[in-house]
Structure 1
């Protein structure tokens, strides 16, 4: 066994090899993927790629520290391709110097410019909307804006996860991009004052709280609704999903804030040619639709269609704001969360 194979077998806590051959890890016909996405979610996608190309995929799953691990491995890293979610993690990978630029006509043709790094270091594959979960029983309106969340009429009625979580930081960063820091600071203060409790839990927690009557609206990603609706292991989550309706904010003006799942080519990719083939497949309409169906997200390529369960959420009008602008405002958004005391919850 080569040293590279041994590293891939033993790398990281919570590692999972989806496919691993007994031969050398750097042998022709393989590509090594470091992923923040659960292996079972991407297995159908990678199986389709292998069926078409004969190239084997090796997946190392980590729930945290992926960027730091590749950085520590340096030139000896077996990583070819990085799979991750959220513009913050993609931009962080670029900033850490663990990616390399890609200029590929096929990829660029299938991935709209707003979902690509201007320098080619990362590419979006699917999107998820940051939407409002609203009680079917207690919220009559069917339209809303992000700006409206600071309206005192919602006082004591909003639930949300940590303001420092990547999903909310991206939303707050988009507000800065559209309105500036001063407005966003005032808006965040208003949102904080409308909270029913301190920020807590995950996105599904907010749906659960609405079901329990603890609040009337929450902020969450669209794909969690699909996960709840199809959860056979914890069927109570179906009740949470059934208690809410999805409101797509700002449909009448700029559109709903979206974030991405995406990919990046590792800086020292030992199987670069194979990695590029996989990147082209992932960016293709077929690859995007397979991926999007598995994770209840929206494919972003021209002519692609979401799965039926995602279509049932309703029509989404994505905010056309380039994601690199969101990435550039994340630090300021985090500072505003601290400055406003957002994490402390509503004023007593």
Structure 2
């Protein structure tokens, strides 16, 4: 293929994608999301009922920020909705977001769950906690540091260290204790592994149920999803086999990650998009969104669902997620340096 043809083909591909996006996003607020649309639709329906404004979503699992950057000023995206502070920070770093100030969302969402430059905002939180065997683990209290102790040698399971949820936890550890201490900690975790890291968080609960390990790292909301899974009822057995332990740093608080939102840089419906951002930070929306996904509202004073309350009291770490996000590259480098994903080495 000649260079001219390659350029023409790439341009045609982008044009086609943009045309499809524009056709799909013909609403008052157009949302690009890496979260499954059904996990956000009920709160969007409540927004439409409240305001009369319509919404449309395009699900983009990978490369969301690259897609918006490629579309440039012609992008139909008004809002970006995603999970994990790393993905929100990546959107900011890619230059596809813009600041929002002087709005209700700035007041409703605590500062530690906002970008320092107001380029993104958390909406709901999930704790990065310990799944522990009800039958084989007696304790109900652990620190994150404890997980690297010899007591747990051969008893720990996790998903890949390079997964965004573990990167965020290690980045938080760096913020608390420094890079050298984090490297030593991750090395200890590696040597406590029962097997090579694999699967997702639910697979770690499954491994505990099967007796392959006794403790695992996982997000709180997966426990709710397993416990209520009617399509795959075997997951209820996995959930019933574990208890949730809220591990803590030295400050007595637990690492949390977020689902969040950002205003797209070239939002064609900016005013409507900000109305949706403000709605998402309201008591009504926080309750709907958190209950739907078995998460914790970020706005103080909103009760969690009974199922989530059953995980135990979450005392979220108050270190700024912006500061945590700044250590993502260091955290990823540590994972590779200690060959974490190769499994235990001692």
Shorter-chain TM-score bucket reads: over 0.9
1:109 shift after superposition: 1.4
Counterpart position of 1:111: 109
Counterparts of 1:324-343 in structure 2, within 5 Å, are 324-343=322-341
Counterpart position of 1:87: 85
1:251 shift after superposition: 7.5
Which runs of at least 4 in structure 1 moved beyond 6 Å after TM superposition? none
- SS of 1:306's equivalent in the other structure is coil
CA distance in 2, matches of 1:136, 1:97: 46
CA distance in 1, matches of 2:253, 2:263: 30
- SS of 2:263's equivalent in the other structure is strand
Counterpart position of 1:50: 48
| Stretch of structure 1 that moved more, 265-274 or 294-303 | 294-303
Counterpart position of 1:175: 173
Tell me the matched-pair count.
Answer: 332
CA distance in 2, matches of 1:84, 1:75: 21
Counterpart position of 1:197: 195
Unaligned runs of 5+ in 1: none
CA distance in 2, matches of 1:156, 1:314: 26
CA distance in 1, matches of 2:274, 2:184: 45
CA distance in 2, matches of 1:170, 1:322: 12
CA distance in 2, matches of 1:254, 1:138: 25
Task: Tell me, yes or no, if the aligned pair for 1:35 and 1:60 is still in contact at 8 Å.
Answer: yes
CA distance in 1, matches of 2:102, 2:292: 26
Could you report, residue by residue, the CA deviation over 1:76-119 in whole angstroms, capped at 9, with x for unpaired residues?
Answer: 00000000000000000000000000003311111000000111
CA distance in 2, matches of 1:47, 1:103: 25
- SS of 1:286's equivalent in the other structure is helix
Task: Tell me, yes or no, if the aligned pair for 1:254 and 1:320 is still in contact at 8 Å.
Answer: no
Could you report, residue by residue, the CA deviation over 1:121-158 in whole angstroms, capped at 9, with x for unpaired residues?
Answer: 00000000000000000000010011001101111000
Counterpart position of 1:283: 281
CA distance in 1, matches of 2:282, 2:194: 43
CA distance in 1, matches of 2:166, 2:337: 16
CA distance in 2, matches of 1:123, 1:263: 5
CA distance in 2, matches of 1:319, 1:254: 8
Counterpart position of 1:38: 36
Could you report, residue by residue, the CA deviation over 1:274-331 in whole angstroms, capped at 9, with x for unpaired residues?
Answer: 0000000001111111111111100010221111211111111111111011100110
1:197 shift after superposition: 0.5
**Aligned pair in 2 of structure 1 residues 130, 143: CA closer, same or farther (>3 Å)?**
same
CA distance in 1, matches of 2:100, 2:334: 34
Counterpart position of 1:10: 20
CA distance in 1, matches of 2:138, 2:43: 40
| Stretch of structure 1 that moved more, 57-66 or 206-215 | 57-66
Counterparts of 1:1-348 in structure 2, within 5 Å, are 10-11=20-21, 25=26, 30-250=28-248, 253-347=251-345
- SS of 2:58's equivalent in the other structure is strand
TM-score, structure 2 as length reference? 0.93
Task: Tell me, yes or no, if the aligned pair for 2:68 and 2:77 is still in contact at 8 Å.
Answer: yes
RMSD, aligned CA? 1.7
1:39 shift after superposition: 1.1
Task: Tell me, yes or no, if the aligned pair for 2:76 and 2:267 is still in contact at 8 Å.
Answer: yes
CA distance in 1, matches of 2:252, 2:97: 32
